[in-house]
Chain A
Amino acid sequence: MKTESKLEKILESGQLAVTSEAGPPRGAEPEVIRKKGEMLKKFVDCCNVTDNQTAMVRVCSLASCIILKELGISPILQMTARDRNRLAIQADILGAYAFGINTMLCLTGDHQSFGDHPTAANVFDLDSIQMIQGVHKIREEGTFMGGAKMTVAPKMYIGAAANPFADPFELRVMRLAKKVAAGVDFIQTQCIFNLDKFAKWMQMVCDEGLDQKVHILAGITPMKGLGMARYMKNKVPGMDVPDEVINRLKGVPKEKQADEGITMAVEQIQQLKEMKGVHGFHIMAIEWEEKVPEIVERAGLLPRPQVD
C-alpha cells in the first residue's frame, strides 16, 4: 500500500468502490455537512468534498473534510488549481494530512466566470496534471514541489477527474495517460449519460493498458427530472446527454420523473459493473444526497466492505 487511504485498500482488494459527493453549504453551517455525512456514512466508502464547486463560494473543502472525518467517514479532499498557487496547494495538503486526510482529488477547476464572483482574479499556477505530479513527488520523494526536503511528507492517495465526453475525443485517452504518467492512483469520471461513448472510451483505455495502472470510478448522476436533463444537455459544457435520456424522462409524468431518474442511474450501474476497467462508482447526486442510499442499495452495492 502506498498510503493509509481506505479507498486504496478497497480498490487494491479488487472490490468495487463506491464514493459520493457532499457539497458544503453556502454559509457557516457545520450541521449541513454533518447531516449529509450521517446520511451517506453506511452507503459509501469515501465522500468527496467539493471545492468551491462551479466557482461558488462555500465552506472550504478542508474544513468540511475534517467534519466528515470526525463522523468516521473517510473524506476525499477536492482541490482546484483555480484558487491556489503551489504554495497554497501544498500548505492545504500538509494541513489536511495533519488531520488524517489521506485521499485527494486534483482538479484544474471550473473557470470563475461561472460562479458568483466572475470578476475575481484566478490563479491557475498549476494545471491538474502538474498538481498530480507535485503531490506524487511529495509522497514518493518526501520533498516539496520546490525541491526542499519535508520533515514529514503527507502520503496522499491521488485522484483526478476525467471527462470522456469533452472534445477533442481522440485526445481524451492520451490525456488520461498523461495523468497516469504524472502519478495518479484513481480517476472519477464525469457524469455518464452516453453509455456507448463511455464504452468506447473505456475500450480505448483498456487497449492502452491504462486500466492496469489506474482505478477508474464511473461517474453516476441521477436526473431529478426533465428540466435538469435539458439543462445538463444544453447548458453545462462538456456534458453529453443523449436524446434517449431526454425522451425517456419525457415519457413519464412529471411527478414520476425523479423516480425514473433513480431507476436509470441504477440500471446504468448494473451495466457498468460488467464493463472491463470499471473499478467502482462515484455517485454525484447534486444537492440530492438523500437519494444516494437508495441508489447504492438498489444497485446491489451493499453492504460496503469493511477494511480496518
Chain B
Amino acid sequence: MIVAEQKPLKEIINMVSPFKKLLIVGCNECVTVCHAGGRKEVEQLAAALSMAAQKDGRPLEIKEVTLERCCDPEYIEQVRPFIDQYEAVLSCACSVGTQYFADTYPTKWALPALNTSFMGGSLAQGIWAERCAGCGNCILHETGGICPIARCSKRMLNGPCGGSTGGHCEVNPDIPCGWQLIWDRLVALGRIPDYAKIMAAKDWNTSRDGGPRKIVREDLTI
C-alpha cells in the first residue's frame, strides 16, 4: 500500500491559515490502514485546526468528509454538491488524492495534509517500511523476492557494497542491508549460484526516468 504520515501540525496550521472555510477530506484506503488520513485522523485534525484558529482569533468553518477512495473520479465527485461552499480542500488522502481534487475542482486550492512517503507495508503495530520503488519492471524473481532497488540504499543490482556490516547498511545501522537479506534468501533457497549472474545495467525507462507513466488496459476501457 501507499504509506504516508501526517505533516507536522504547525505546517498544516500555516498552510490553512488564509482560509475561513475548509473542507477536510479523508480516505478509507491505504492512509486509513497506516493511521494517517482516515476518518479518525480527519476528526482529530479538524479539532486541532479549530482550536488553533480559535486561539489566534481567526474564524474557521470546517466540514469533514471521508471518501471510500480519493484516487478514483467516481468518489471524488461525491463532494461536488457542496464543494462551492468551501475555499479549499485539505486532503488527508495520499498526494494522489490531493491531485485528484486539484484536477477535478480547478478553482479550489488543494492542500496536502500528509507526506506521502513510499510503497510498503506494516512490520508491526505502528511500524511501516518501504518495499518497492515502482521501477515498472520487477526483478524479484532474480533476487530471492527482496528488492535491491528499494531496499539497498545505493540500489545496487549486483551485490553488496563494501560498507555492509553485520547485516546493517552503511548508511544507518537501523537499516537492514538489502543485499545481506537477498544473500540470506539465496542461501536458504539453495540458490547460491544465482548470485554469479551479472545483472546488466537496468533500463530505468519503465521507472520515473521515462517520464510520468500510464497503464492502458484496452480490454477494460469503454
Contacts and interface: CB of A to CB of B under 8 A. Distances in A.
Contact of A178 (B153, B159, B171): B159
Contacts, number: 100
B201 A166 contact: no
B167 A177 contact: no
Contacts of B201: 86, 125-126, 130, 133-134, 145
Interface string B146-179: 0000000111111111111111101110000100
A124 B163 contact: no
Given A129-B158, A168-B183, A238 B195 contact: no
Main secondary structure of the interface of B (DSSP, over half): loop
Given A124-B154, A127-B154, A167-B164, A175 B159 contact: yes
14 contacts: A108-B156, A109-B154, A113-B171, A122-B154, A129-B159, A130-B157, A130-B200, A166-B160, A166-B162, A167-B164, A167-B180, A178-B198, A181-B198, A238-B162
A166 B163 contact: yes
A86 B205 CA distance: 13
Contacts of B196: 174, 177-178, 181
Interface string A146-178: 000000000000000111001110010011011
A88 to B, nearest CB: 14
Interface string A30-69: 0000000000000000000000000000000000000000
Contacts of B154: 81-82, 108-109, 111, 122, 124, 127
* 8 closest Cβ pairs, A-B complex: A163-B162, A237-B170, A237-B163, A129-B158, A127-B156, A130-B201, A238-B162, A238-B163
B75 interface: no
